[in-house]
Amino acid sequence: MTTEISSDSVEKIGQQLLDTTKPLNDRFRALFTLRNLGGEMAIDFISRCFTDPSALLKHELAYCLGQMQDVYAIPTLKKVLQDESQEAMVRHEAGEALGAIGSPESLEILKQYSNDSVKEVAETCQLAVNRINWLLNDGKNQVLNNRVYLSVDPAPPDNEVNVDVMRNTLLNENLSLFERYRAMFSLRNTGGKDAVLALAEGLKCSSALFRHEVAYVLGQMQHDACVQQLAVSLKDKSENPMVRHECAEALGSIATKECTDILQKYLTDEERVVRESCVVALDISEHEKSEHFQYADTLSKLTDKKQVNADELP
């Protein structure tokens, strides 16, 4: 982002992120504001928050650092990936973020944790290694041209256009996760009800990491054809919390009244990450239904507050 902003403003936004007395949805908005602003000061504030008790927030910190694609964040992400006291979903996201940044210097640690005892962490690191190797083999120009959803994805879409062929690849558990992820993102980019329904079938696949990514992609697409499938996975108490959390956030992005009603039911769920995801999802849903363009609005709120204060001066 090229907008010039004072270090004082970044400081205030960063302090909102770090303030554990603030509602989680406000801290999320501060986090995404810092992500959009970028720069070392923003990364430093995000990095300081990995001691927070909320696994959901820490997972989102790592995600944002990856999306920023700044090598300055690599040491923090390596540290989080190595920290076995961190929750699996946080370590997984740190590995994915290293892959998103795409620096060859991360290959060594990613290969090391490709055999991690936590399956979701191991699979994530394998995908990240594949992504970086793909980038090194002249994939960078292609990935820049395929950012339809303005996100840095853990695998590039392939060149297939037939939904049935992509669906078959997506659901074929004999293929590598990297190949199946490529089909996943191709289906997302193709769009439409048939692609959404094909993706929703992936919520029944064996890998929790894969199921969580399917839910994430369905949230990006914001198509209501998959509401019931997402609701079934969210309801399933035996499902991996990482998957349930992503289903909740996807429902928040789709933002129909049905989605809101479903999310309300899980605000008191026994899994903290699910409860918190529903809080954030309902906040996202309110944003989607509002006339406000920007979800990451902490900077504009600070600016508006300054304007109000100035107007009150005699």
Tens digits of residue pLDDT in 75-90 = 999 999 999 999 999 9
Q: Are 74 and 53 in contact (CB under 8 A)?
A: no
180 and 122, same domain (yes or no): no
Average pLDDT over residues 61-69: 98
Mean pLDDT along residues 23-40: 96
| Termini Cα distance of the chain | 36
Judge whether 309 lies within some domain: no
CATH number of the domain bearing residue 206: 1.25.10.10
In a domain, 301, yes or no: no
pLDDT digits (tens, 9 = 90+) for 183-203: 999 999 999 999 999 999 999
State the amino acid at position 124 in one-letter form.
T
Q: Which of 123, 146, 169 is the last residue of a domain?
A: 146
Give the residue numbers spanning the domain of 24. Answer: 6-146
- Encode pLDDT of 149-186 as tens digits: 889 999 999 989 999 999 999 999 999 999 999 999 99
Q: Are 59 and 90 contacting, i.e. CB atoms less than 8 angstroms apart?
A: yes
Q: Do you know the residue count of the chain?
A: 314
Whether 121 and 33 share a structural domain:
yes
Is there a single domain that holds both residue 15 and residue 104? yes
pLDDT of residue 302: 61
Residue 196 lies in a domain: yes
Taking the CB of residue 290, how many other CB atoms lie within 10 A of it?
Answer: 10
User: Does residue 308 form part of some domain?
Assistant: no
pLDDT (0 to 100) of residue 141 = 65
In terms of domains, do 14 and 137 share one? yes
Q: pTM for the whole thing?
A: 0.91
Say whether both 182 and 109 belong to one domain.
no
Would you say 56 and 280 are in contact if contact means Cβ atoms under 8 Å apart?
yes
141 and 32 within one domain: yes
63 with 168, same domain?
Answer: no
- Is 134 a member of any domain? yes
Give the contacts of 151 (CB within 8 A, at least 6 positions apart): 67, 220
Q: Are 96 and 82 in contact (CB under 8 A)?
A: no
User: Do residues 198 and 163 make contact, with C-beta atoms less than 8 angstroms apart?
Assistant: yes
pLDDT higher than threshold 80 for residue 310: no
Number of domains in the chain: 2
162 and 240 together in one domain: yes
At 303, the pLDDT band (50, 70, 90 cuts) reads low
